[in-house]
Amino acid sequence: MADAVGEFLEPDPALEHVTSLHDHLEIEIKSGHRADLRSADERGGILTRVADAIDRSGVGYEDQCSARHYADVVRCIEQLQAGPVAGAAGGSSWPARWSRWRTSRRAAATPAPAPAPATRIVDVGVFMGGTSAVFAGCAEELGLSLDLVDTSPTYLRFTHERLRRAFPKVAKRVRMFHGDLPTYVREVLMVETAERAVVHHDGAHEFDQVVRDLASLWFVRDRVPALAVQDTHLRCSDLRFMCFVDAAVFAVFGPDPTYRELGVVHEEVAPLTSPDRYFGNYCLPGVAEGMFLELAQNRFRFPHPTMPLEALLRR
Ligand SMILES: C[S@@+](CC[C@H](N)C(=O)[O-])C[C@H]1O[C@@H](n2cnc3c(N)ncnc32)[C@H](O)[C@@H]1O
C-alpha cells in the first residue's frame, strides 16, 4: 500500500538488518559532504556526542548544512530550554560571535516576553538526516521528542532507521510524518495541544511553498516558541526553482524581523558564491546561512487573520 500523505509512517522492521541503508533505499550520495561536528563544538557538548554516535552507527550519509549551522541551532535550542534567550539588546552568556542579532525597530522598543521551553523539535526536510541526527542528540539530552516531516517517504525511512541505530534510547520518541508543514500543522500541532514545538525548516526552497510553510505556523503560534530557517543565503540561477527562502521569511514576518543569524557567512569571493554545475545554486556573500526567530519577538504579516489554514494547503 502507498504511504498516505498527511499521516505518520510506521517504521519498517525489515530495514533494521540492512547493511548498506542508502544502497538498499536507492539514495545516491552525491557530494558526500559531512559536517565536521566536533570542530564546530566549541564546548565539547552535544555535537561531539552526536558525532560519536554517528561514527558508531556506521551508516553512510551526506549532510546539506554547514557544521556551523548545526552548532548554532543546537546552541539556540539549548538556550531556549535553559531560559529566555537574551534579546538583541544583550545576551550575557553568548560568545562574541553570537552578537549577530538582527533586531526590528519595533522589537527593540518593546521587550519581548520570555519564550517557554519546547517539548518537541520538528525537523522539516530531513534528506539523509543531517539535522535530524543533531536533533536526536538534543532530544536525548534535553528530554524532547522529535518529529521528522518530509514529502519523501524514502528519506523519512532512511533517517528514522539511521537515528534508531545511532540513538537507540530516543528512537521511541521519534516519529515520521509524511507531508508538508501546513499539513503537519493541521493534522498534528493543532491536535496535540499540550506540545510546544521548535521548528527547523529545511524542506522546500521555492518561495511559494516556503511562504505556505511559515505562514501555517500562525495557526499554532502560541505553541511554537521558535523557528529556525536554513538556506536563507541561497539563490538559484534557474528561475524555475524560485529559490528565495529569505524572501519568504520577509513575506511572512515583514521586512524587519528579529532573528539570530545561523551558520556560515561567505566572503565576497568564495567558491560557493558562483552557480554550481548541477542546478545553478549559489550563496549570497555577506548573508547568513540561516535565521533563528523567536515568535514572541516577531509578528506575522501573513496570513491575514481571516484566512483559513486550508488556503495555505496545496490542492
Ligand atoms: C535540503 S534537504 C534537507 C537537508 C537536511 N536538513 C540536512 O541537514 O542534511 C531538503 C529535504 O526537504 C524535503 N522536501 C522538499 N519539499 C518539501 C516540502 N514541501 N515539505 C517537506 N519536505 C520537503 C526533501 O525531500 C528533502 O528531504
Protein residue with its CA nearest to atom 14 in ligand 1: 203
Question: Per-residue pLDDT for 59 more than 60?
Answer: yes
- 204 CB-near residues (< 8 Å, 6+ apart): 125, 180, 210, 213
Question: Per-residue pLDDT for 31 more than 90?
Answer: no
What is the total count of domains within the chain? 1
Question: Structural domain of residue 282, as residue ranges?
Answer: 7-312
Question: Per-residue pLDDT for 294 more than 80?
Answer: yes
* Cα 214 to ligand 1 centre (Å): 14
Q: Place 100 in a pLDDT band, splitting at 50, 70 and 90.
A: low
Q: Place 166 in a pLDDT band, splitting at 50, 70 and 90.
A: very high
Asked, for residue 253, whether it belongs to a domain, the answer is yes
Q: Average of pLDDT values for 42-56?
A: 93
Please report the pLDDT score of residue 269 as a whole number.
83
Give the three cell numbers for residue 227.
523557528
Question: Per-residue pLDDT for 94 more than 80?
Answer: no
* Least reliable range by pLDDT among 1-5, 16-20, 78-82, 208-212: 1-5
Asked, for residue 212, whether it belongs to a domain, the answer is yes
> What is the pairing mode between strands 197-201 and 120-124?
parallel
Asked, for residue 1, whether it belongs to a domain, the answer is no
- Mean of the per-residue pLDDT values of the chain: 92
User: Is the C-alpha dihedral spanning 275, 181, 81, 10 positive or negative?
Assistant: negative
- With a 6 Å cutoff on the Cβ, whether 204 touches ligand 1 is yes
Query: What share of the chain in percent tops pLDDT 70?
Result: 90
Please report the pLDDT score of residue 89 as a whole number.
40
Please report the pLDDT score of residue 42 as a whole number.
83
* Cα 92 to ligand 1 centre (Å): 34
Please report the pLDDT score of residue 113 as a whole number.
62
- With a 6 Å cutoff on the Cβ, whether 149 touches ligand 1 is yes
Question: Per-residue pLDDT for 75 more than 70?
Answer: yes
Query: How far is residue 264's CA from residue 111's CA, in Å, rounded to a whole number?
Result: 28
Q: Average of pLDDT values for 126-152?
A: 97
Atom of ligand 1 nearest to the CA of 231: 1
Protein residue with its CA nearest to atom 25 in ligand 1: 152
Q: Place 271 in a pLDDT band, splitting at 50, 70 and 90.
A: confident
Question: Per-residue pLDDT for 278 more than 90?
Answer: no
Q: Place 116 in a pLDDT band, splitting at 50, 70 and 90.
A: confident
Protein residue with its CA nearest to atom 27 in ligand 1: 127
Q: Average of pLDDT values for 277-301?
A: 95
* Cα 127 to ligand 1 centre (Å): 5
Atom of ligand 1 nearest to the CA of 130: 8
Asked, for residue 91, whether it belongs to a domain, the answer is yes
Identify the residue whose cell numbers are 515568535. Answer: 295
Q: How many CB atoms lie within 10 A of CB 207?
A: 17
Question: Per-residue pLDDT for 92 more than 50?
Answer: no
* Cα 106 to ligand 1 centre (Å): 33
Atom of ligand 1 nearest to the CA of 209: 19
Atom of ligand 1 nearest to the CA of 204: 16
Asked, for residue 297, whether it belongs to a domain, the answer is yes
- With a 6 Å cutoff on the Cβ, whether 135 touches ligand 1 is no
pTM: 0.94
278 in helix, strand or coil? Answer: coil
Asked, for residue 145, whether it belongs to a domain, the answer is yes
* Cα 86 to ligand 1 centre (Å): 30
